[in-house]
A and B are shown apart, each in its own frame.
Chain A
Amino acid sequence: MSTVAQTEQNHHEHHAAKGFKRWLYTTNHKDIGSLYLIFSLTMFLIGGAMAMVIRAELFQPGLQLVDPHFFNQMTTVHGLIMVFGAVMPAFTGLANWMVPMMIGAPDMALPRMNNWSFWILPFAFAILLLSLFMEGGGPAFGWTFYAPLSTTYSNDNTALFVFAVHIMGISSIMGAINVIVTIVNLRAPGMTWMKLPLFVWTWLITAFLLIAVMPVLAGAVTMVLTDKYFGTSFFDAAGGGDPVMFQHIFWFFGHPEVYIMILPAFGIISTIIPTFSRKKLFGYASMVYATSSIALLSFIVWAHHMFTTGMPLAGELFFMYATMLISVPTGVKVFNWVATMWRGSISFEVPMLFAIAFIVLFTLGGFSGLMLAITPADFQYHDTYFVVAHFHYVLVTGAIFSIMAAAYYWLPKWTGHMYNEALAKWHFWLSLISVNVLFFPMHFVGLAGMPRRIPDYALQFADFNALISIGGFAFGLSQLLFVAVVYKCIKGGEQAPSKVWDGAEGLEWDIPSPAPYHTFSTPPEVK
């Protein structure tokens, strides 16, 4: 692959505008990737601050800091921000940076749309966040916005929530279209489907999921809008509607959505584990097939979020079996990662530490997911802290840990500098310990009967809640270390070589570090 010289040559041919205009007008996939990642980190901190409010109120029984109405706004907006503002834009940012470089493309296929799909996001979140300061406050009906709590019984600012979600959805759909068009059309000669890096594969499948379900979410919020403001009764039994239908529509979006937030993580882990095991990924083909089957199955399990809504027995059985089935391809992935490490030559750089933590802790979240699939037991788990523990294990120690792993893995490529190893290790170990103090006891309080989304609780849950809050504050503070590492790494540090990790494979490591503004203007030859 003789692309290095070529890209070096092209390096200075086209210089971007300076200052704010550079970022506002940019169509460069690396700039837009950076914008997405910085935006995501900002949202992660804001959503995290809301989690701190929640944990502060729950530190001890009784109401001390916030009133229940504001508490509900915090749980709602925390969820919305973390899902739509932190995790999804982070993956889109990673896709922007890495997909063209991994497949040997000069840029994303639709650069202007790329600019647009990012720049509408800050407006969506500005609308959502500013609604918190209006009379009546922001959305307080949970991120799942079940009708009729979100329609008849919500406050007048609900329209702002609907508008914000629409913008987020449009942004996601545009991002997904861009990823698909790029991967289908801009692969370098010789980059056949079964040679694609797994991160590219998982993102391709994720993009199809996004295009399939984001319009469903748009439909759901629009029906909420017209029910509330224009006299329709999609979800109002008095007008011939059905509140449970809302949940079917929402979760038809919502379940694929959780895979949207984890499939790219699978891709990241499948990239990092082989690098630091210095051994090829075990079962590449089965990884691709497992990802595809998870994506397909994700469309037929949505009602497992709704076992207590009063479904017919046949429905409950179908969704139980289908949900249990998902653990088979997911298990295959975990087994493949472990088999990759087996008889490798393992070293423990920070990306690898996060990747290993991902495998263990995501698997724990998978186990509780399998438990939740058992319908009779789910009647007890449903809407308790056990569920909160489950989805934070798969989303925080799953998705977020994979994003952290990816950030450490590619930061030297992006900035040209090595990150501060000592600080990064502190970040990892503090995060690992505190995240478990934070989320593990939630299993216990959930099993013991503590419902989720309550601002105050019975006395037998007090000790665990205090412990959980301490874990929460520690985890929140630890993330400031991550900000520090990233900042320092952008500002300077040891010069990174083009191939940062000795065991790494892929086109991105043929490019100098930092990656030049334009790469692969002439496609590389993949053998």
Chain B
Amino acid sequence: MNKYLSMVSVFLLTTPLVTYGNSAFNMREGVTDISQNVYQLHMTIFLICCAIGVVVFAVMFWAMIHHRKSKGVKPAQFHESTKVEILWTAIPFLILVAMAVPATKTLIAMEDVSKADLTIKITGSQWKWHYEYMGHDVDFYSVLSTPKSQIDDLEEKSENYLLEVDKPLVIPTDRKVRFLMTSDDVIHSWWVPDFAVKKDANPGFINEAWTRVNEEGVYRGQCAELCGKDHGFMPVVVEARSPEAFEQWLSAAKQDKLDAAAASAALLDQTLSKDELMKTGEKVYMAYCAACHQPTGMGLPGVFPALKGSPIVLGDVKDHIDIILHGKPGTAMQAFAKQLSIKEIAGVVTFKRNSWGNDLDQIVQPSEVQARIDANKEAGK
């Protein structure tokens, strides 16, 4: 009996937390037909387990209360019964068959990725997501936007702490959206609980999943597969908009891309001040580089190299730009050519060459970065 009491006390201890709404205790029903089916399966199997548990433990606790030595009970002599044993092998088996039927149906529906209205390629890398709208020439990176100061407890944490990104994935409601998952480095796993979609992003392979969202809204998830140091800081945010609003957003995104290209081209003729480059560089460094090389530029010895006093940072500027553009194969250093603009790369190179005691008093202009890109292209890199 005492065991029951202790279990109950655990429940009582946690009941004040119910005020958070049912999502603090249970799986979310989500906003797709599939996620609601999954929720139903979850509740069905849960209730079956509860029912079996109640029966088994009731018998057990009855025995513990009534068949005690201290009550002077003499033990019975029986120790087998083929009938009973067949019965309690067969009944659970039948329950399982009954459970397997709806589970199979849902699973078959979940794996049917045919007839999609829109295909989005999702590429994981340490520690961000890249979204590419196939056939629409729109693609962007999506990075955690919670400031480091909140993580370090220097500032109050915002409502969506660790579940917010700079650019969310935008998808239309009421359309079948197909996702293609892959990875640039280690295995990641793209998960949005409200869609009941969780699929691993494997480097070198492509996985498929799909969703059809019924309600507009912002849906948040996280990387689910341990992917290195900042695995906990790789959220997924998806905005579901009405099909019309989505089309508008998509054309705007296309226009933004053209504008950015034009701005980049304009930069080639300009000479930026050291101040501006340093400012851009610091921002980029904190967002893209500091996770590994650390805000101090000291790296993590034995894991990520220091930039302070680094031979590449202090050496030929061409090598420095190249390693940022193309990464270093076989290490965690990724290629940033597609992630950063020439201005951002010029800024971050300038910043690294003039920070933490690196004192080259050298600035790098966007045109120099573009020159390296062109030279590498010619060299066939």
Residues of A at the B interface (CB closer than 8 Å) are 61-64, 67-69, 72, 134-137, 140-142, 146, 148-149, 152-153, 155-157, 236-238, 242-244, 277-286, 308-310, 313, 316-317, 320-321, 324-325, 327-328, 331-332, 334-336, 338-347, 356-357, 359-360, 363-364, 367-368, 370-371, 374-377, 379-380, 382-384, 429, 432-433, 436-437, 440-441, 444, 447-449, 451-460, 463-464, 467
Contacts and interface: CB of A to CB of B under 8 A. Distances in A.
B376 interface: no
A173 B32 CA distance: 49
B185 to A, nearest CB: 6
23 contacts: A62-B151, A62-B152, A62-B157, A64-B153, A137-B302, A146-B187, A149-B228, A242-B205, A280-B77, A286-B85, A308-B224, A309-B200, A320-B104, A336-B85, A338-B56, A338-B59, A344-B75, A371-B46, A380-B196, A436-B6, A436-B10, A444-B25, A448-B26
B359 interface: no
Given A308-B198, A447-B25, A363 B56 contact: yes
B93 A328 contact: yes
Contact of B6 (A335, A432, A458): A432
B203 A68 contact: no
B68 A347 contact: yes
B198 A152 contact: no
Nearest to A470: B13
A286 B81 CA distance: 10
Given A153-B228, A284-B79, A356-B3, A325 B96 contact: yes
A331 B79 contact: no
Contacts of B103: 320, 374-377
Interface in B327-348: 330-332
A444 B27 CA distance: 8
Given A137-B303, A324-B96, A359 B69 contact: no
Contact of B303 (A69, A325, A368): A69
Contacts, number: 329
Contact of B49 (A277, A320, A370): A370
Q: Which 9 interchain pairs have the tightest Cβ spacing?
A: A237-B204, A136-B302, A454-B232, A135-B302, A310-B207, A367-B49, A343-B76, A280-B79, A383-B224
Interface size class of B (residues with CB under 8 A): 35 or more
Contacts of B309: none
Contacts of B111: 313, 316
Contacts of A137: 302-303
Interface string B1-43: 0110011011001100100100111111000001001100110
B233 interface: yes
B267 interface: no
Contact of A157 (B7, B85, B200, B302): B302
Contacts of B202: 237, 243-244, 309-310
A321 B93 CA distance: 11
B303 A320 contact: no
A447 B27 contact: yes
B100 interface: yes
A449 B221 CA distance: 8
B115 interface: no
B198 A456 contact: no
A68 B23 CA distance: 27
Contacts of B80: 282-286
Contacts of A328: 89, 92-93, 96
B191 interface: yes
B335 to A, nearest CB: 14
Contacts of A451: 191, 222-224, 231-232
A427 to B, nearest CB: 14
Nearest to A471: B10
B161 interface: yes
A342 B67 contact: yes
A99 to B, nearest CB: 24
A467 B202 CA distance: 35
B356 interface: no
B129 to A, nearest CB: 15
A283 B199 contact: no
A144 to B, nearest CB: 8
Contact of A371 (B24, B37, B42, B332): B42
Contact of A341 (B67, B92, B150): B67
Contacts of B181: 310
A444 B198 contact: no
B63 A342 contact: yes
A146 B226 contact: yes
B199 A310 contact: yes
B302 A467 contact: no
Contacts of A310: 181, 199-200, 202, 205, 207-208
Contacts of B224: 308, 382-384, 451
B218 interface: no
Interface in B168-227: 181, 185-187, 189, 191, 193, 196-200, 202-205, 207-208, 221-227
A279 B104 CA distance: 43
Contacts of B160: 458
Contacts of B301: 135-136
Contact of B63 (A238, A243, A343): A343
Contact of B75 (A149, A278, A456): A278
B300 interface: yes
B189 A380 contact: no
B67 A436 contact: no
Given A285-B80, A345-B67, 17 more contacts: A69-B229, A149-B226, A152-B185, A237-B204, A243-B204, A286-B85, A310-B202, A324-B100, A338-B60, A345-B74, A360-B57, A376-B107, A432-B3, A441-B14, A444-B14, A453-B231, A455-B232
